[in-house]
Amino acid sequence: MSSTSSNQMGQLVADKHVRYILMAEKKKESFESVVMDHLRMNGAYWGLTTLDLLDKLGTVSEDEVVSWIMTCQHESGGFAGNVGHDPHILYTLSAVQILALFDKINILDVGKVSSYVAGLQNKDGSFSGDMWGEIDTRFSYIAICCLSILKTLDKINVEKAVDYIVSCKNLDGGFGCTPGAESHAGQIFCCVGALALTGSLHRVDKDLLGWWLCERQGKSGGLNGRPEKLPDVCYSWWVLSSLIMIDRVHWIDKEKLVKFILDCQDLDNGGISDRPDDAVDIFHTYFGVAGLSLLEYPGVKAIDPAYALPVDVVNRIIFTK
């Protein structure tokens, strides 16, 4: 992207986003924040990863965050979305990712967390989200990503896990949450991510999937998650990271996508929304900044499309020990 075009389309107001994230943690008086507090662990991951991508992770108290995370861990080894809640694989990955951001994986009982995750694998290779048994390819990705960070992939049957994910492939090249379920960009990210982390991308029909994914880009430059849906910043991340992993990102107009994401910023108070002029939230702020990172926007650290963590953090994981 040339500097002239980025001037025309406006800039990333990084400082304002940092302030927005730091404020969001303190504002607890809206109904939205009350109904979100069961997934505070996810919120913390979105906020803190965004801060790290903007090189501002130092502004939060590491000790405070880390000790709060550890109070959310259960006997079973899994993590809850908040103190006093039940554990779920969704929050377990977020907890592990946040600890990775702070280079604090070593405070974990790795064996215990890994056993919790591995214990959720079913006979057919699929994963349940918790002891109650709902199956979803999202949970396959989460399990594989989590164990990759902990370097304990050998605790699960990887071959069966991969076979199950491949069985969720549709005729359009995309993936759904279980076999026969509709293709969905979020599920595709999970399946492609899991296949990338296990070195199984050859099981994807890259041209066919790339075809479906690049059809998600609309006239505005933003990407949607399914046919006929409106473009949305969060889907922009899921489609974009999938396209990068299967090496087909040159099939879409990246410059238009950058412009779309920048147009979703609240230029006064910070934060990014799902599409221009909507209300901002922390979820879309993370996906917006992460999307710009994949698009190599200046001033944003590079993010790894499969781990969904900054590349320097991933390198630290891979090259230590």
**From CA 196, how far away is CA 144, in angstroms rounded?**
10
**Footprint of other proteins on 124-143 (CB under 8 A):** 130, 132-134
Backbone φ and ψ of 100, nearest 5°: -65, -40
Out of 77, 176, 231, 288, name the contact with other proteins by CB under 8 A.
Answer: 176
Out of 74, 155, 229, 275, name the contact with other proteins by CB under 8 A.
Answer: 229
Out of 18, 177, 223, 257, name the contact with other proteins by CB under 8 A.
Answer: 177
Contacted entry of other proteins, Zn ion, none for residue 234, CB cut-off 5 to 8 Å set by kind? Zn ion
Please, what is the end-to-end C-alpha distance for the chain in angstroms?
38
Contacted entry of other proteins, Zn ion, none for residue 38, CB cut-off 5 to 8 Å set by kind? other proteins
Contacted entry of other proteins, Zn ion, none for residue 42, CB cut-off 5 to 8 Å set by kind? none
Contacted entry of Zn ion, other proteins, none for residue 182, CB cut-off 5 to 8 Å set by kind? other proteins
Per DSSP, helices labelled H in the chain are: 3-8, 14-26, 31-36, 40-53, 62-71, 89-101, 110-118, 137-150, 158-166, 185-197, 206-214, 233-245, 254-263, 282-294, 311-319
Judged by CB under 8 A, the stretch of 3-11, 55-63, 71-79, 243-251 that binds other proteins is 243-251
Out of 105, 208, 244, 311, name the contact with other proteins by CB under 8 A.
Answer: 208
Q: Does 234 bind Zn ion (CB under 5 A)?
A: yes
Show the tokens assigned to 247.
């090496």
Please count the residues of this chain forming the interface with Zn ion, following the rule CB under 5 A: 3
**Footprint of Zn ion on 143-182 (CB under 5 A):** none
Q: Does 281 bind Zn ion (CB under 5 A)?
A: no
**Footprint of other proteins on 45-84 (CB under 8 A):** 80-81, 84
HSE value, Cβ hemisphere, 13 Å, CA-based, for 90: 21
Q: How far is CA 22 from CA 42, 48, 67, 170, 283, in A?
A: 15, 9, 18, 41, 14
Contacted entry of other proteins, Zn ion, none for residue 30, CB cut-off 5 to 8 Å set by kind? other proteins
Q: Does 274 bind Zn ion (CB under 5 A)?
A: yes
**From CA 204, how far away is CA 195, in angstroms rounded?**
8
* Angle at alpha carbon of residue 314, lines to 185 and 41, rounded to 5°: 65
Q: How far is the CB of 2 from other proteins (least distance, A)?
A: 17
Q: Which is nearer to other proteins, 139 or 297 (CB)?
A: 139
Size (the chain), residues: 321
Q: What is the DSSP string of 149-211?
A: HHT-GGGS-HHHHHHHHHTTB-TTS-B-SSTTPPP-HHHHHHHHHHHHHTT-GGGS-HHHHHH
**Footprint of other proteins on 278-307 (CB under 8 A):** none
Q: Does 163 bind other proteins (CB under 8 A)?
A: no
**From CA 112, how far away is CA 129, in angstroms rounded?**
17
Judged by CB under 5 A, the stretch of 5-13, 22-30, 48-56, 230-238 that binds Zn ion is 230-238
Please count the residues of this chain forming the interface with other proteins, following the rule CB under 8 A: 42
Ramachandran region, residue 133 (left: φ > 0; alpha: ψ -120 to 50; beta: rest)? left
Q: Does 255 bind other proteins (CB under 8 A)?
A: no
Q: Does 86 bind other proteins (CB under 8 A)?
A: yes
The footprint of other proteins (CB under 8 A) covers: 29-31, 34-35, 38-39, 80-81, 84-86, 88, 130, 132-134, 171-172, 176-178, 180-182, 184, 207-208, 210-211, 214-215, 217, 226-229, 248, 250-253
